[in-house]
Amino acid sequence: DQQVKQNSPSLSVQEGRISILNCDYTNSMFDYFLWYKKYPAEGPTFLISISSIKDKNEDGRFTVFLNKSAKHLSLHIVPSQPGDSAVYFCAASARWDTPLVFGKGTRLSVIA
């Protein structure tokens, strides 16, 4: 059974608007949550993370929100840029040194 779910396989957004990518998880033991970005023919690259003691973390245009009671997190990108077009993976783990469990990914297309 999937522990990390990204229910939207794809998302299309206009340049300059907000992109919101969603992720749900089922394992209540998860304490570390990360977002990775992946371009074609490259490895995933770390984007932003949040631990369970926080409900929000910002890094420039990227903000991750965590709602532990709903077992839901989201990634907001404001403003969206064409270079943000990529596949975004949500990942989670129970401890800092246990393997990350990944969702299936959401393909974001930012249209100029």
d(CA 66, CA 64): 7
Residue 62 interacts with other proteins (CB under 8 A)? no
d(CA 22, CA 10): 11
User: Other C-beta atoms within 10 Å of 40: how many?
Assistant: 6
Binding residues for other proteins restricted to 13-52, rule: CB under 8 A: 32, 34, 36, 41-46, 49, 51
Cβ atoms of 88 and 4 within 8 Å: the answer is: no
Residue 103 interacts with other proteins (CB under 8 A)? yes
Least CB distance to other proteins at residue 91 (A)? 8
User: Other C-beta atoms within 10 Å of 27: how many?
Assistant: 14
Q: 73-92 mask for other proteins (x: CB under 8 A)?
A: ----------------x-x-
Nearer to other proteins (CB atom), residue 53 or residue 112: 53
Looking up tokens 């839901």, which residue turns up? 72
- Provide the binding-site residues for other proteins, judged by CB under 8 A: 6, 32, 34, 36, 41-46, 49, 51, 89, 91, 93, 95-105
